[in-house]
């Protein structure tokens, strides 16, 4: 047994904090997986894979946290100085990785609007009506968020493959309305079309999911630093116990 009341209390807190870290690891895995799935559904609307990079990084860190947690529990149960030292080193690596992830998400969050604007405009201009994946993604966003085009319905003026006879896609039409007549990006009855651009309509939802990953990573740092402190206390208690009976 570890020597002293302090190390014993530290051992108890190490278990409790380790459990909380496990839960946070699961949150990172779940949040990263959710963002990845959503990004895959709408990947045609983004210019690059910045969001995907962040979400996969979060999943990797979450899995590593979940696995490392076992070494912490085993080290505390067996009072193994070797396992607890490895646990401390692994936690230090995770802290550095999460700090980088948190900084990366907050830096890149400012680029999401520009990224989606350019990506969606490119999709509308070059592949909408030609590629099924792009057409489905654009239509789904426009119907779900009641919007039209990246910035406005006029984005369809330069759409190469918009079906003949349509000024805007049917997914831009308000419920119960028919968007017929007019030229590309210039509907005859604009009051029947959603006027808000999809980038503006979706940016808050996307940023909230994106920043949640960064917030979870940064918030987890506090728990992990505390756990590292308690791990050191338990290691010191093991050393004192060894010296006592040496």
pLDDT tens figures, 97-155: 777 766 766 666 667 777 788 888 989 999 898 888 889 889 999 999 999 999 999 99
State residue 217's pLDDT score. 67
Q: Into how many domains does the chain fold?
A: 2
The Cα–Cα gap between 180 and 199 comes to 24
> Does residue 179 share a domain with residue 207?
no
Same domain, 91 and 211: yes
Considering the domain architecture, whether residues 179 and 132 belong to the same structural domain is answered as yes
Q: What is the pLDDT of residue 196?
A: 92
- Give dist(CA 186, CA 188) in Å, integer: 7
89 lies in the same domain as 146: no
Per-residue model confidence (pLDDT) at position 3 = 47
Write out the residue range of the structural domain in which residue 33 sits: 5-113+203-245
Same domain for 173 and 223, yes or no, is no
Q: Do 173 and 158 share a domain, yes or no?
A: yes
Quickly count: other Cβ atoms within 10 Å of residue 220's Cβ. Answer: 25
Of the pLDDT bands very low, low, confident and very high (cuts 50, 70, 90), residue 1 is very low
User: Are residues 25 and 124 both part of a single domain?
Assistant: no
186 and 136 housed in the same domain: yes
Percent of the chain with pLDDT over 90: 16
β-pairing, 186-187 with 182-183?
Answer: antiparallel
127 & 98 share domain: no
Q: Are 137 and 109 part of one and the same domain?
A: no
């Amino acid at each position: 047994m570890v020597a002293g009341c302090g190390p014993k209390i530290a051992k108890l807190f190490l278990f409790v904090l380790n459990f909380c870290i496990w839960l946070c690891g699961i949150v990172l895995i779940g949040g990263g997986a959710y963002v990845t799935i959503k990004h895959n559904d709408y990947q045609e609307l983004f210019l690059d894979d910045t969001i995907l990079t962040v979400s996969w990084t979060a999943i990797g860190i979450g899995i590593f946290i979940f696995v490392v947690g076992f070494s912490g529990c085993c080290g505390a149960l067996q009072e193994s100085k070797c396992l607890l030292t490895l646990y401390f080193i692994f936690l230090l690596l995770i802290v550095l990785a999460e700090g980088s992830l948190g900084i990366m998400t907050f830096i890149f969050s400012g680029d999401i609007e520009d990224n989606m604007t350019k990506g969606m405009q490119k999709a509308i201009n070059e592949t909408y009506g030609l590629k099924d994946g792009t057409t489905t993604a654009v239509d789904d966003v426009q119907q779900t968020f009641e919007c039209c085009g990246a910035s406005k319905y006029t984005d369809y003026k330069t759409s190469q493959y918009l079906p003949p006879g349509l000024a805007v896609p049917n997914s831009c039409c308000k419920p119960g309305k028919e968007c017929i007549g007019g030229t590309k990006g210039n509907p005859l009855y604009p009051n029947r079309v959603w006027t808000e651009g999809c980038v503006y309509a979706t940016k808050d939802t996307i940023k909230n999911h994106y920043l949640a990953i960064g917030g979870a990573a940064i918030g987890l740092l506090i728990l992990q630093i505390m756990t590292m402190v308690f791990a050191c206390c338990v290691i010191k208690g093991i050393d004192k116990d060894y010296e006592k009976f040496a």
